[in-house]
Structure 1
Amino acid sequence: MAGIRSWFSLARAAWVLMREGVVTALPEEGAPPPVRLAKSIAKVVRRRRAVDAPQTKILANALNRLGPSWVKLGQFLATRPDIVGESISRDLEMLQDRMEPFDIKYARRTVEATLNRDVDTLFVDFGTPVAAASIAQVHKARVRDKDGIERDVAIKIIRPGVRERFNWDLETFYTAAHFITRWFPAARRLMLVQSVDILAESAKLEMELRVEAAAFSEMADNVKNDPGFRVPEIDWERTGRDCLTMEWVDGIKMNNMEALRASGHDLATVANNLNQSFLRHAMRDGFFHADMHPGNLFLAPDGDIVAVDMGIAGRLSKPERRFLGEILYGFIQRDYRRVAEVHFEAGYVPRGKDVDSFAQALRAVGEPIYGRTAEDISISALLALLFEITELFEMRTQPQLILLQKTMVVVEGVARKLDPNFNMWTSAGPVVVPYVTRLIGPLGRLDEARDGFKAVEQLARQAPIFAKRAEALSQEIDAMAANGVRLDKPTIEAIGKAEARHSRSGRVALWVIAASLAALVWKQFV
């Protein structure tokens, strides 16, 4: 039943995309026959207002009509240009997650149900919504501390029914991913089903506001000694599953360029600080803010960058951080052979491919950076070429690295708006080079040895458990050898049902064959 519902949901989505002009706007060149057919149908059924509308507006209208889950899917696909292409990815980056606010009465009831306390005892003032998105909306409020001092706070409150709706739509996304993976072999390297898994996990965590609060807390610990970057302080007393309370940020949003220029701050310094902060989080901590668009970044009066909305965060393991560091270092040093070797060592490129050929292809990605001014460097064009090369070498998509890479592009874009002469590669050097130097030097080797000793120690602790499991498994094997394999009742019933279905299918097939033979005989003699 769920499968049928998913197909109806996909049909509705296709209809909305046609009506809003999204399908018509797809590129004609290289499109497979089903897409060309869909474009022909879409030209007939699309709305009049969609004919001259910009593509960004078209996408926004379609996704907002489909609902909050599809808006979240659009935001996720903005991080996957390898799936949707660079053009659509850029349009999805411009998607403004703005929904109609829900009633303040519901917001108050949600806070009271989550915290088991009356709103009026928790807050001196509880204001109307200041922002409404697909997952939650934000209210400005005022609280009084135990010492009597009042301060402004921001309260993020989950949208009603969003979890149930997302779980419903998630089945649709899985159906589409399985269908494409099965019938389009070239798309298998994109790991679409695994990508939906990541979307599901990300959204589930984003809808659990205590987890987002914990992300803020972890980031605050990581950056407490870093210059020029911070996150809001969490009010744990007023935070629960469905509401998150944090300090109110007084600053200029980084999408307000006019106010930023009038602020008197050195925007080139701010741009450099933003990029280097992100690289420190990714490589040093293995934990980074993965939604650093200008609407989530504020410039505080003291010049600090304050990042909000950590519903989407990325993590990198130590091997992945080493991979990232050596890749960036290799590009900075123009050591393409080492960059290629790191790809092979990480297992991202099949071993049957040639390292030297891969290094040659990577040179085509890196060389356009050098000998050109910062204004001429297109990171988007470089990424498009990189995706073509990884497809050429059958490199399996690594979703966590794609998320990191896309966040790097977003950060670079914000920095470029702050400073048109900003060069991400030049800015990255002071962070990347010391990190990689330590990583591949004596201290890095000591860290690896320490990690190895920890792994051996953990294995030694678990040795008695492994021994008991091995002994139990040996006894089970001896029992099977002496008495045969015994099946429990549910397994026997399941086998019986399967055999019954097989027998019915066999009987039907025999009757079909018999009827066909009878028809042939009849035709022969009549």
Structure 2
Amino acid sequence: MTFPRIGGGAVALRTARAFAVLAGRSLLLGPATAAAWLRGERFDRDAWLADTVAALGPAFVKAAQLLSTRADILPPRTCRALSRLHDQVRPAPPRTLPPALRFGAGVPRLVGAGSIACVYRVDLPDGQAVAAKVRRPGIVRSLSADLAMLERGARVAARLPVLRGVPVTAVAAQLAESIRAQLDFGREAERLEGFRKALSVADGVTVPGVRPGLSTEDILVMDFLDGLARRRPEELGEAERRNAVVTALRAVYRMLFLDGVVHCDLHPGNLYFREDGSIVVLDAGFTVQLSEPAREKFAAFFYCMSQGDGEACADIVLSTAKAPPGSDTARFRADLAALVAEHTGRSAADFDLVSFAARLFDLQRGHGLHADPQFVFPILSLLVLEGTVREFHPDVDFQREARPMLVTALMERVVAVPQETR
């Protein structure tokens, strides 16, 4: 699909509006708190925070959704407040649905409201229920303006000394491209169907099927799945919690290491744990397709890390990054080997992926290496997933669960190389 061209004036205006929203909402905080106190009520700061993020726009909502899973970065209360934005964003006015859906019994029922689209349950004439994901009015232009602001802000941030060597502009560009892709329902339908087929061999994973005959450019129609609810860890038994987390990890690893598809949006609004320990994966909008070399090298990096082979990890990073003349690669190898040794074999309760990723990029920056931005998205995907599953099964070993898929991915490459050289 095509996106509107956003000029410098429009970006400046959008930036000014964002600051105006922040200023206005901050001024509201004082009087609203005082008024609630005079009425003998407790001011709902959580609602204020969620409403402020929603008022800033869809790009800010997407960022908040990712941050809401990181209880190790933000206070738990803040995470709970931002988690409202998974599927409880203020709904858009009803859109005109296609005739095939209007002929259903009764009125379409809103079941979820996200930053880009709202989801309705629609009963078809034959009695089947479908989920209609309807794009919000005006979202294409407003999101394009947000992302243009993000990209320009990244270019400014890249000049800061503290970010020297970090691929800020490349990451921002790929992030913006990935978020724009969420507006393309045709692409999402293809990805969702690809997920469903790829994960059909995985036990305990359900992905809704797409109804292409009913879908349009603005509406994506899928099978409706009953019984989806965001559950707290205490609502599931210990065995079911463990099964659900391990099933989710293996599904993500299958997509990442075998298919090269990175699902960057597995927050609790898109990943559901069922009472029997099975999972449901929804929404394929925020996904990234890795290049084949990037897929192979990330799989090799993760495998070597799980084996505690820091020097091999360093070789892989050096093969993907740009090293300046005269850089001390031997020192970099030694530093990365020490970092890998420190983190190898830790459970989710002890393994801090945020800390590992930050120190990895600090090492690269300290040695003047320019990292490959395609390495960022798999880490982002695992960061979001880690934040989602940490509460349910803190002792799961992320690296051990990855090894079967890693071995399969690496063996496929070994078998393919002789054929490619014939």
TM-score range for the pair, normalised by the shorter chain length: 0.7 to 0.9
Write the deviation string for residues 129-167 of structure 1: whole angstroms up to 9, x where unpaired. Answer: 11111111011111245xxxx222211001111112223
Contact kept in structure 2, 1:315 and 1:400, CA below 8 Å: no
**Gaps (5+ residues) in structure 1?**
22-44, 454-526
Contact kept in structure 2, 1:275 and 1:412, CA below 8 Å: no
- The Cα of 1:351 is off from its aligned counterpart by 6.2
Once residues 178 and 88 of structure 1 are traced to their aligned partners in structure 2, the CA distance between those partners, rounded to angstroms, is 26
- The Cα of 1:319 is off from its aligned counterpart by 1.2
- What residue in structure 2 maps to residue 227 of structure 1? 203
Once residues 3 and 382 of structure 1 are traced to their aligned partners in structure 2, the CA distance between those partners, rounded to angstroms, is 37
- What residue in structure 1 maps to residue 343 of structure 2? 369
Whether 2:75 is the aligned partner of 1:101: answer: no
- The Cα of 1:337 is off from its aligned counterpart by 1.0
Once residues 389 and 383 of structure 2 are traced to their aligned partners in structure 1, the CA distance between those partners, rounded to angstroms, is 10
Return the match for 1:9 from 7, 14, 38: 14
Whether 2:110 is the aligned partner of 1:129: answer: yes
- The Cα of 1:322 is off from its aligned counterpart by 1.6
- What residue in structure 2 maps to residue 140 of structure 1? 121
Write the deviation string for residues 377-434 of structure 1: whole angstroms up to 9, x where unpaired. Answer: 3232222322322221233243332121021122233333222321212222233234
- The Cα of 1:243 is off from its aligned counterpart by 0.7
- What residue in structure 1 maps to residue 128 of structure 2? 151
- The Cα of 1:15 is off from its aligned counterpart by 4.2
Q: Flag the 1:267–1:180 CA change in 2: closer, same or farther, 3 A.
A: closer
Counterpart residue identity of residue 170, structure 2: Q
Whether 2:286 is the aligned partner of 1:309: answer: no
Once residues 200 and 434 of structure 1 are traced to their aligned partners in structure 2, the CA distance between those partners, rounded to angstroms, is 32
Q: When the two structures are superposed, what TM-score results if normalisation uses the length of structure 2?
A: 0.82
Contact kept in structure 1, 2:250 and 2:401, CA below 8 Å: yes
Counterpart residue identity of residue 12, structure 1: R
Q: Flag the 1:357–1:54 CA change in 2: closer, same or farther, 3 A.
A: farther
Contact kept in structure 2, 1:75 and 1:92, CA below 8 Å: no
User: Cα RMSD between the aligned structures?
Assistant: 3.4
Which one has a bigger Cα radius of gyration?
1
Once residues 307 and 154 of structure 2 are traced to their aligned partners in structure 1, the CA distance between those partners, rounded to angstroms, is 39
Contact kept in structure 1, 2:150 and 2:172, CA below 8 Å: yes
Whether 2:368 is the aligned partner of 1:394: answer: yes
Contact kept in structure 1, 2:11 and 2:149, CA below 8 Å: yes
Whether 2:223 is the aligned partner of 1:241: answer: no
Counterpart residue identity of residue 295, structure 2: R
| SS at structure 1 position matched to 2:108 | strand
Contact kept in structure 2, 1:7 and 1:175, CA below 8 Å: no
Contact kept in structure 1, 2:348 and 2:397, CA below 8 Å: yes
- What residue in structure 2 maps to residue 329 of structure 1? 303
- What residue in structure 1 maps to residue 53 of structure 2? 63
**Highest relative contact order (Cα 8 Å, sep 6+), 1 or 2?**
2
Contact kept in structure 2, 1:299 and 1:306, CA below 8 Å: yes
How do residues 347-386 of structure 1 correspond to structure 2 at under 5 angstroms? 347-350=321-324, 352-370=326-344, 375-386=349-360
More helix by share: 1
- The Cα of 1:312 is off from its aligned counterpart by 0.7
| SS at structure 2 position matched to 1:366 | helix
Return the match for 1:281 from 255, 267, 275: 255
Q: Flag the 1:70–1:293 CA change in 2: closer, same or farther, 3 A.
A: closer
| SS at structure 2 position matched to 1:294 | coil
- What residue in structure 2 maps to residue 448 of structure 1? 417
Q: Flag the 1:373–1:225 CA change in 2: closer, same or farther, 3 A.
A: closer
Return the match for 2:173 from 197, 210, 234: 197
Q: Flag the 1:223–1:348 CA change in 2: closer, same or farther, 3 A.
A: farther
Once residues 415 and 170 of structure 1 are traced to their aligned partners in structure 2, the CA distance between those partners, rounded to angstroms, is 29
Counterpart residue identity of residue 209, structure 2: E
Q: Percent of pairs identical after alignment?
A: 24
Write the deviation string for residues 66-103 of structure 1: whole angstroms up to 9, x where unpaired. Answer: 22243235557x59x9xxxx847996894524322123
- What residue in structure 1 maps to residue 384 of structure 2? 410
Once residues 355 and 233 of structure 2 are traced to their aligned partners in structure 1, the CA distance between those partners, rounded to angstroms, is 25
Aligned residues: 403
| SS at structure 1 position matched to 2:202 | coil
Counterpart residue identity of residue 10, structure 1: T
Write the deviation string for residues 339-376 of structure 1: whole angstroms up to 9, x where unpaired. Answer: 11111122355464333312222234223335766533
Once residues 156 and 15 of structure 1 are traced to their aligned partners in structure 2, the CA distance between those partners, rounded to angstroms, is 31
Contact kept in structure 2, 1:20 and 1:50, CA below 8 Å: no
- What residue in structure 2 maps to residue 166 of structure 1? 143
Once residues 290 and 171 of structure 1 are traced to their aligned partners in structure 2, the CA distance between those partners, rounded to angstroms, is 20
| SS at structure 1 position matched to 2:208 | coil
